A and B are shown apart, each in its own frame.
Chain A
């Protein structure tokens, strides 16, 4: 269809059919005042701030909702339009508290800003103002000042349309209308913080940030999220060397204008009381603080002593530069280094065509019309990738799921197949001919995406090969900020995450083995066995397995580079100085290299490290999801109950584990042992009852919980939590036993 030609404020513009007057104005760069309109949300047309004059229309029309038509003549600032806009502004203000100086939103309030342009200096409203009661909707979003709400319903529409769940709604009519959460509930979406950004006034604000600073006091520093593989772009807001708030930095190709709550609130951990701020040595079982030279010399000596058998375990949340130096150090000292701590199958290591990645730009997810997601706790592992697929599903993309649990992704699922972990591979191999296969076959833009669970699976390489064999483009949903970057840094070196544990000296980089490794038990045993363990971390470890602790600067305190799951190389600067004596890990690793006499380790700047790491590498050419692997027979069905272990969203890394507000959310509730009804009956346990989980040499006491969508013979027991850290492998079998109620623990 041909474009529509119209005129706004005397300037000609052409827009495609279906565009609104607002779209046309935006195209011309003409600002039409608005509150309820948001380009990512449906049109509500309720605030009426965007009223404009349209030639031959008897009344002013809302620009946001009025379709552009050919030959239309619009005036956004004629006397008529202005008077309509001013009238609306007066209405918005009559019941709005005019106490900007004590409002948390002051200085960054759309209502305040527009009132300057469209409001009067005095009010004609002399009646009492409306009072709307405060609400408690959870630990992240403050709804303390609902009298400030202007009923634009952006928050409501965000829930319905973007988060996929309507957790806020408007009850009552007219002046009594109020935004509320469902009776007695909180707002639990993993994307809830975006409502704060969307709220044009001070009604919904950030609970942790409230009254902590004024917007104009804050320095804005760009950064990159250290959490999931998406690499969300951040604005870190700083006052007096303290991170006060994190906001999204708009990047349509990555996080759009959104952030997951994890990305938004994990900064709170920077001020955790568990921060490690001084190097520490263990002498005869006693910890004492030492200065850096002393600690480094000790570490260098021990590593030199163990030369030939140094294992470095880094989390994939470490920066590219850190991982690069870790790899070089392992190479030089002799040993191995890896970042894939939660993975357990490395049989594909020599068989892969390149670095596993998303297989396409993130933005291309929008255009898929068929997708199969294999082994992923998508919503919690990749909140914003899930959001992309949710929007795609809305546009008709058929989302198929093959997994061991059937969690609600808050989007229509075309077909789902839920099987025990041991049957995942066979199920994937047999997809063709099933409804999932049929669904994929009917698509034109198809992808098979392998999630964290598939990557952590003991037959991960075979799963990759099976996915490849389906004949569609495949992609990996990268677990962490540097799941691609780790490979680019040259890791693994000299083995893999499992074999690295066998070395005499162990270096832990950001890692808490009992929480970050595929099998906490073997990791724990390795730590005990090792002659020497040094932990480079930002926090005091919960478990005392090291001989030396070196405080390093985490996210926001250090510079570095993450390579996202789509292969986007994103470098960032520190937003604040490190806490206490903490140092950037790349510097620590460099000095260790120097002290251990490693040649060519004389980097003076981070840029030099990055340069050395990337020199001669063409990332685009390195990315490949190809695998040349003969299909092996599926593993025999294991005896006993199979464990299904996810990494709960707010326990995935050391930072988020210590973010206090996130730890108060529903997502951070202690793990439970989920079973289906039949298993519960077999075991004679009921929901809520304590059960004893035994795996290997360890046990955990959890509350039983019912999830009847779980496959037969499986118990869902999350990993990465203190309460389950004594258990064994994330994939494996375990025993469950009812604990007699009343019996002492």
Chain B
């Protein structure tokens, strides 16, 4: 049996091989859908149930899912779409991969129910290209569902028709941004769209569209089977249900853990085996690399739910918990992160295209002993000039880490600048992947 922790509901009863339709049905799968269709539950009731469950989007922003569905125009002639975001590009996040790998039908059933609730005609699952085998497996799962009558025309003899298609991505982080993702499905370069209009009014192929994360969809069948209240009660008010956390970094047992929202961080850390022997916890990025970093003491006093982490000064994001112990040089950690955003910026809007490169180069300079006294103020100010001024949230994602690293670990940066050396020396400070920027194109590497 795969062990995601005692509170697991999405990942309960999985052994790594029982992903097929028959196994899923044995676990009670597709019961929710059957019941909905048999009882002809009005779509609004489904949305109301999801609202009651306080399910919040698992893709990053934590937006209430039921509310999002209610934005889909009811009386719209023609196609409407549900899109599942399995691009999972946020550094540290690897939960959607497990969901697709071990429990793909929960995602399919969730999409069908969402399609029913919003009157959509088809769903697309956009799966990042690095997990090609899972993309193919998902195609197989769709085929199983189709053959069993869960997909296609007049599902299970009802008047509801719905199709699901899988669509591979090819490894661009920006294609996880929902409108970049829509462009990519349409066969265009994955560049985010300016909003408004929002996808609910002008989405895929210009039709009303809702984009939800894989885990968001996977939670829907459970909610419909056990009721919104039951889901809500697993977590906390406004933070319903369980959540998969991808715990990575300096822990003894990195991996995915499913816990109730509101679980203390200390408990989650314990499940992951705690920090490595003899090392003290230094900092945690609680929600994926785009979210602000928090110092150990703040994290150890925080519970893992959207509101508690927001109160602590960060965001729950995608649930990627990046744990750093005392051996981590925060300058190098930020250099690595900034390099990521620099390389992944789609390049269409000025502050992000120009600013991410600037941030990276300054942090890189500091890390390599060429920092200047005025650099920290510069980093702060450049971050401010990016955040909130871009087409999509990648700009914020690049700026927030910089600001938070400077806020909480300023002394390490100052030390680097003043002494041209690292405050945290130790064998572990050399990251496995080598220095960020090592694979810049030749012209740039020379510049760097």
A residues at B contact (CB < 8 Å): 43-49, 51, 58-60, 62, 65, 67, 84, 87-88, 90-92, 94-95, 124-125, 127-128, 130-131, 150-151, 153, 170, 172-177
Contact = CB atoms under 8 A, between A and B. Distances in A.
Contacts of A124: 378
Nearest to A48: B350
A45 B354 contact: no
Nearest to A51: B389
B358 A174 contact: no
A175 B389 contact: no
Contacts of A45: 194, 349, 391
A92 B357 CA distance: 12
A592 to B, nearest CB: 63
B353 A65 contact: no
Nearest to A133: B443
A44 B353 CA distance: 15
A173 B385 CA distance: 20
B378 A88 contact: no
A174 B344 contact: yes
Given A46-B349, A87-B351, A175 B342 contact: yes
Nearest to B354: A91
Contacts, number: 100
Contact of B347 (A58, A94, A176): A176
B348 A44 contact: yes
Contact of B346 (A60, A95, A131, A174): A174
B389 A43 contact: no
Contact of B342 (A92, A150, A174): A174
6 contacts: A47-B350, A84-B385, A91-B354, A95-B354, A173-B172, A174-B343
A48 to B, nearest CB: 5
B345 A92 contact: no
Given A46-B391, A48-B390, A62-B194, A127 B447 contact: yes
B388 interface: yes
B350 A88 contact: yes
Given A87-B385, A151-B353, A175 B447 contact: no
A534 B389 CA distance: 69
Contacts of B342: 174-175
B344 A173 contact: yes
Contacts of B196: 67
B427 interface: no
Given A45-B194, A88-B389, A94 B345 contact: no
Contacts of B357: 95, 130, 174-175
A94 B385 CA distance: 13
Interface residues of B, number: 35
B404 interface: no
Contacts of B365: 127
Contacts of A51: 389
Interface in B278-312: none
Most B C-beta atoms less than 10 A away, residue of A48, A60, A128: A48
Contacts of B53: none
B218 interface: no
The 3 A-B residue pairs with the shortest CB-CB distance, nearest first, are A87-B385, A177-B347, A174-B345
Contacts of B389: 48, 51, 59-60, 84, 87-88
A64 B175 CA distance: 25
A224 to B, nearest CB: 39
A173 B174 contact: yes
B212 interface: no
A43 B348 CA distance: 13
Nearest to A88: B350
A169 to B, nearest CB: 8
Contact of A175 (B345, B384, B388): B345
A172 B347 contact: yes
B360 to A, nearest CB: 9
A90 B347 contact: no
Nearest to A43: B194
Given A59-B389, A94-B358, A124-B378, A173 B347 contact: yes
Given A45-B391, A170-B347, A175-B353, 11 more contacts: A43-B194, A47-B350, A48-B349, A59-B388, A62-B194, A127-B358, A127-B447, A150-B350, A174-B347, A175-B356, A177-B347
Interface of B: 172, 174, 189, 194, 196, 342-358, 361-362, 365, 378, 384-385, 388-391, 441, 443, 447
A48 B351 contact: yes
Contact of A91 (B194, B344, B348, B355): B355
B351 A88 contact: yes
Contacts of A59: 388-389
B350 A49 contact: yes
B443 A131 contact: yes
A153 B191 CA distance: 13
A43 B349 CA distance: 13
A172 B347 CA distance: 8
Nearest to A171: B189
Given A51-B389, A174-B357, A65 B194 contact: yes
A92 B343 CA distance: 18
Nearest to B174: A173
Given A48-B349, A173-B344, A175-B353, A58 B388 contact: yes
B129 to A, nearest CB: 15
A153 B348 contact: yes
A173 B447 contact: no
A58 B355 CA distance: 21
Most B C-beta atoms less than 10 A away, residue of A46, A49, A90: A46
Contacts of A125: 358
A91 B345 contact: no
Nearest to A127: B361
A51 B351 CA distance: 12
A124 B353 CA distance: 17
B358 A128 contact: no
B350 A174 contact: no
B346 A90 contact: no
Contact of A46 (B343, B344, B348): B348
Contacts of B390: 48
A303 B345 CA distance: 75
A172 B174 CA distance: 12
B397 to A, nearest CB: 13
B174 A91 contact: no
Contacts of A131: 443
A88 B389 CA distance: 9
B369 to A, nearest CB: 16
Nearest to B193: A45
Nearest to A92: B350
Given A131-B443, A173-B174, A174-B356, A91 B385 contact: yes
A150 B347 CA distance: 10
A520 B336 CA distance: 73
A173 B172 CA distance: 9
A153 B349 CA distance: 10
A47 B344 CA distance: 18
A45 B196 CA distance: 11
Contacts of B356: 174-175
A45 B195 CA distance: 10
A485 B274 CA distance: 90
A177 B353 contact: yes
B385 A90 contact: yes
A62 B196 CA distance: 11
Contacts of A47: 349-350
Nearest to B364: A127
B388 A46 contact: no
A175 B398 CA distance: 14
B351 A175 contact: no
Contacts of B447: 127-128
B280 to A, nearest CB: 36
Nearest to A91: B354
Contacts of A60: 388-389
Contacts of B353: 91, 151, 174-175, 177
Given A46-B349, A48-B349, A60-B388, A176 B441 contact: yes
A91 B356 CA distance: 10
Contacts of B350: 46-49, 88, 91-92, 150-151
